[in-house]
Amino acid sequence: MNAQEIINKIDVNGNHSPFATYLDEDVFKLEQENLYRGKVWSYIGLDVEVPQPGDYKTTFVGDTPIVLTRGEDGSLNAWVNRCAHKGAVICRERHGHSDDGAFTCVYHQWAYDAKGDLKGVPFRRGMKGQGGYAKDFDMKNHGLETLRVQTVAQMIFATFDPETPDLEEFLGEKMCENIRRIMHKPLKLIGHTRQFMKGNWKAYAENSRDSYHGALLHLFYPTFGIYRQGQISEGITDKVGCHNYFNVSAPPKEDLDYKDYADEANREMQGPHQLQDTRVLNFIPERDDNVALSIQSLFPSVVLQQIQNTLAARQVLPKSTNETELVWTFFGYEDDDAAMDEHRLRNINLVGPAGLISMEDGEAVELVQNGVHRDGELRSFIEMGGNDVEDYTSPMGMDENAVRGFWKGYRAVMARD
């Protein structure tokens, strides 16, 4: 099968997808064109990462290197990190600041402003009447390839396609509401971690939407009373299903019995069942809704999380058919005091590449990649809870609605049948 035939075999309702979607090099290449350069908004950062004019951040949309900048006028801009002269990378650091507002390619010193416009070319007119570019050389025609940029709350997204619907239309009202629920006031950047997984990015996209595995894989959840299979929750999807979030309220402390949670797990956590410092589990309500667990997956490239008081955006970056980078950007709120800063840092032990909860997800992605290695014509079975992608309020972990939604949305963007 060629790449398009593989994609066309994904069930229109998302109930099945061929394993070849994780393995095929041509599928990966087609994703860069149809998806990442198509009518899709990709997350590229938080506005607090580039707070001042001249600040920049390097990242990717798909496998294309991108620079996010803050202009002198306060605007947010994104352009391909590729000099218009020879194609060399311009910004080589992950984060930085340009004091003079210029972004200069080290190779031949072509210089651009924060919007990507070419502003300087050494020896453009040659020297002493010799060399240089032709008289009709116009710097306006040699700027960098730019992307459209829009924001919801403090999240920044970019798209290559000028015809992509506005960001809020792409995400939908319900998704924007939850973003604003979490980002309801100015943010404070805490820091970043990076995680490399030997697996396809779509395996992680499924994982973040998959409530079924929550307390089955992550035994830390039920063992220490954070979450248990069957806990009442709310699952919300957009009209297609490719975006979704889960919200789970904190149980009343007076009714909490860790043993009840552990008894509902289908296997026992190995090792000691107590923590030396239980403060890592503390939850301080910050909103009226009392939600203690929120995982929001936005197609195709980001997960916005609130686990206890740990707030983070997880950017999903595809590197190859079997390599994915996950960039965690942790944040708090501008008005957090020193005690809250310390509490959030302590809570971060729950998540990230080595988090007490999150570390198994990377291994799960690699288990899938290793398992499907050869038999691409076989397919996954995604039918728990039926075959729809509807919203629900029900026991957590009893359906695969959001996973079906991912494949339904992916197919809608990628298929050509």
Evaluate whether residue 355 is within a structural domain.
Answer: yes
Evaluate whether residue 156 is within a structural domain.
Answer: no
Domain co-membership, 225 together with 334: yes
Domain co-membership, 90 together with 191: no
Domain co-membership, 96 together with 220: no
**CA-based angle 261:262:263, to the nearest 5?**
90
pLDDT in tens, 360-381: 888 999 999 999 988 889 999 8
Domain co-membership, 265 together with 358: yes
Asked whether residue 252 carries a pLDDT value surpassing 60, the answer given is no
C-alpha pair distances (Å), 403 with each of 170, 238, 248, 284, 415: 19, 13, 18, 30, 18
Domain co-membership, 254 together with 190: yes
Domain, as residue range, for 129:
42-150
Amino acid 278: pLDDT: 85
Residues 46 and 281: their CA atoms lie apart, in Å, by: 26
Domain co-membership, 177 together with 133: no
Amino acid 387: pLDDT: 79
Amino acid 270: pLDDT: 62
Position 202, amino acid: K
Evaluate whether residue 13 is within a structural domain.
Answer: no
Asked whether residue 147 carries a pLDDT value surpassing 70, the answer given is yes
pLDDT in tens, 314-346: 999 999 999 999 999 999 999 999 999 999 999
Q: Among residues 115, 122, 56, 112, which one has the least CA distance to residue 84?
A: 112
Q: Among residues 358, 330, 219, 220, which one has the least CA distance to residue 278?
A: 220
DSSP for 193-225 reads: EEEEESS-HHHHHHHHH-GGGHHHH-THHHHTT
CATH of the domain at 303: 3.90.380.10
Number of compact structural domains in the chain? 2
Domain co-membership, 91 together with 207: no
Which two tokens mark 33? 């064109």
Residues 212 and 76: their CA atoms lie apart, in Å, by: 38
Evaluate whether residue 255 is within a structural domain.
Answer: yes
Evaluate whether residue 15 is within a structural domain.
Answer: no
Domain co-membership, 226 together with 358: yes
Mean pLDDT of the chain: 89
Highest averaged pLDDT of the listed ranges 11-15, 35-39, 127-131: 35-39
Domain co-membership, 272 together with 369: yes
Q: Give the lowest-confidence range in 33-47, 191-205, 261-275, 337-351.
A: 261-275
Domain co-membership, 266 together with 209: yes
Domain co-membership, 136 together with 280: no
CATH of the domain at 82: 2.102.10.10
Asked whether residue 297 carries a pLDDT value surpassing 80, the answer given is yes
Domain co-membership, 193 together with 299: yes
Evaluate whether residue 193 is within a structural domain.
Answer: yes
- The whole-model pTM stands at 0.93
Query: Which residues, listed in sequence order, are joined to residue 158 by a DSSP beta bridge?
Result: 42, 149
Evaluate whether residue 163 is within a structural domain.
Answer: no
Amino acid 397: pLDDT: 65
Residues 199 and 366: their CA atoms lie apart, in Å, by: 5
Evaluate whether residue 30 is within a structural domain.
Answer: no
Residues 367 and 296: their CA atoms lie apart, in Å, by: 23
DSSP for 226-244 reads: S--TT-EEEEEE-SSSSSE
Residues of the chain with pLDDT > 70: what percent?
88
Amino acid 260: pLDDT: 54
